[in-house]
Amino acid sequence: MAAITLTKREARKFLVYYHGLYGEFDYIGKDGVMAYIRRAGCIQFDPLNVVGMNPELVLQSRVKDFDRSMLWDLLYKERKLIDYWDKNMSIFPLEDWPYFLRCRNGYQAWCNAHQDVVDRVYAAIEQRGHLSSGDLDYSEKVDWAWGPTRLSRAALEGMYHAGLLAIHHKEDTRKYYDLTERLIPEQLHAMPDPFETDEQYYEWYVYRRIGSVGLLWNKPSDAWLGIRGMKSAQRNEAFRRLIEKEKLTEVHVEGLQFPLYIRSEDLDVLHKALSYVPSKVRSSILAPLDNMLWDRGLIKELFDFEYRWEVYKPVAERKYGYYVLPVLYDDKIVARFEPAKQRKNDPFSIQNWWWEEGISVNESMQASLMECFERFAAFLGTHFYQRDGTFLR
């Protein structure tokens, strides 16, 4: 399949359009939540909550009048979505469950090595229903991924990663687990591994990750995190096979040294994006782990925007602030800001604001941004408090 050449602006326009961030809202209500997550494969979960958790921030920027209850219902009532490991901890459609069997099998050794406690936890949940670590009295300390923790917590998480348990629901960040067979339909729960070889698995995963971002290159980056067992050699081979099968199309972007790749099935989306003229310019507040931002090097090349999430950096090493969010206007990332911590019904307010270099601010941009802030405040269930308007000048 012939390669495509794009300007940087065309590449940006495609990405913004692909992610439902360009012009009018394409995604509406719960159906919109499902449609976007199916396009992206997954959205990344992170428990930090300053003005909403990461998956909520991803969806509020794409889904018209998004409400947190939509995601809760789809996860824990309707069970069309599930919490599990993909791009690190993520949320993805329940129908994708069988494709992660190899990931689940990777945790089986821990369960086998602690079979006695696994049997006791399984029996307790079978008899009592969904439980959290606080409902189990196994206080012995054991080594775990991030350090010593209570055996009850390690057992629940180990069984969860191995697929013996699934998350029944959450209360804030506390997880309640139930038996997987109670929460996942039998036809999905019992489905065998869809991949006969490791090569097929890596090929599927590379294709999935390209779809999660829209445009991606074959270079090491955070966009490839969480793919169990895949190193550069396996990724290179997967790219080669996908290109050979014409499932990927090479994209050359003017000014970029390395080629990008788009799923061939998304070429029609590319053509629509390039011909689309929105009736109204839109602004959006992006999540810190937004799918579009997964490859920070690519974002720097295309948007001339360098972004590091500084929450885990010591204060003295931060360039901006603890929790800083990018601001998109049209097809450009024009600013970043540090929001005040949202507490109950407090107004949404901005503590610090930084324009990107070279941004020319006009009344149209100011009006679009104010509409964006008011929309974001409504998502938080409050209103936008503007101490002064100087940051928009």
pLDDT (tens digit per residue) in 37-72: 999 999 999 999 999 999 999 999 999 999 999 999
Average pLDDT, the chain: 94
| Partners of 236 in the β-ladder | none
CA-nearest of 105, 84, 98 to 190 is: 98
DSSP structural state of residue 64: E
DSSP-derived secondary structure letter, 348: B
Confidence band, pLDDT 50/70/90 cuts, at residue 312: confident
Contacts of 23 (CB under 8 A, 6+ apart): 17, 276, 278, 279, 280, 281, 282
> Which residues share a beta bridge with 327?
285, 335
- Give this prediction's pTM: 0.95
Q: What integer pLDDT is reported at residue 151 of this predicted model?
A: 84
CB 260 within 8 A of CB 7: no
Residue 260 in contact with residue 301, Cβ under 8 Å?
no
- The predicted structure's pLDDT at residue 81: 98
Task: With CA atoms as reference, report the closest residue to 216 among 178, 248, 192, 172.
Answer: 248
Confidence band, pLDDT 50/70/90 cuts, at residue 333: very high
* Residue 389 banded pLDDT, cuts 50, 70, 90: low
Q: What is the pLDDT of residue 345?
A: 82
Query: Where does the pLDDT of residue 21 fall: very low under 50, low under 70, confident under 90, or very high at 90 and above?
Result: very high
The two tokens of residue 284 are 């959006």
Residue 387: what pLDDT? 66
Q: From CA 381, how far away is CA 374, in angstroms rounded? A: 10
**What pLDDT shows up at residue 393?**
67
The secondary structure of 256-316 as a DSSP string is: -SS-EEEEGGGHHHHHHHHH---SS--EEEPPTT-GGGSSHHHHHHHH-------TTS-GG
- pLDDT tens-place string over residues 122-157: 999 999 999 999 899 877 766 766 667 778 888 999
Per cent of the chain over pLDDT 70 is 96
CA 216-222-223 angle, 5° bins: 35
Band the pLDDT of 186: cuts 50, 70, 90. Answer: very high
Please state which of the ranges 156-165, 194-203, 210-219, 341-350 shows the lowest mean pLDDT.
341-350
Q: Is 344 exposed, middle or buried (0-12, 13-18, 19+ CB in 10 A)?
A: exposed
d(CA 354, CA 333): 11
The residue among 199, 217, 206 whose CA lies nearest residue 261 is 217
CA distance 376 to 327: 12
Q: Inform me whether the pLDDT recorded for 25 exceeds 70.
A: yes
Kindly state the tokens that stand for 67: 């409400």
Task: Say if residue 392's pLDDT is above 80.
Answer: no
Question: How would residue 364 be classed by pLDDT, with cut points 50, 70 and 90?
Answer: very high
Q: How far apart are CA 87 and CA 226, in angstroms?
A: 5
pLDDT confidence bin for 226, thresholds 50/70/90: very high
Query: Would you say residue 305 has pLDDT above 90?
Result: yes
- Identify the CA nearest to 58 among candidates 338, 379, 348: 379
In this structure, the strands spanning 174-179 and 165-171 are antiparallel
Res 137: pLDDT: 82
pLDDT of residue 148: 75
Looking at per-residue pLDDT, the higher value among 309 and 139 belongs to 309
What pLDDT, on a 0 to 100 scale, did the predictor assign at position 349?
Answer: 94
Average pLDDT for residues 257-264, to the nearest whole number? 98
Residue 388 has pLDDT above 80, yes or no: no
Cα 129–Cα 115–Cα 83 angle in degrees, nearest 5:
50
Q: What is the rounded CA–CA span in Å between residue 371 and residue 61?
A: 12
Q: Please report which residue ranges of the chain form alpha helices under DSSP H.
A: 8-18, 29-40, 54-60, 68-72, 101-105, 108-113, 115-128, 151-161, 180-183, 186-189, 198-213, 232-244, 267-275, 296-303, 363-379
Q: Is 162 helix (H, G, I), strand (E, B) or coil?
A: coil
The confidence score (pLDDT) of residue 386 equals 74
Inter-residue contact 54 to 289 (CB < 8 Å): yes
CA angle centred on 46, ends 90 and 304, rounded to 5°: 95
Q: How confident is the model at residue 236 (pLDDT cuts 50, 70, 90)?
A: very high
Residue 390 has pLDDT above 70, yes or no: no
Question: What integer pLDDT is reported at residue 118 of this predicted model?
Answer: 93
- Do 109 and 121 touch, CB atoms closer than 8 A? no
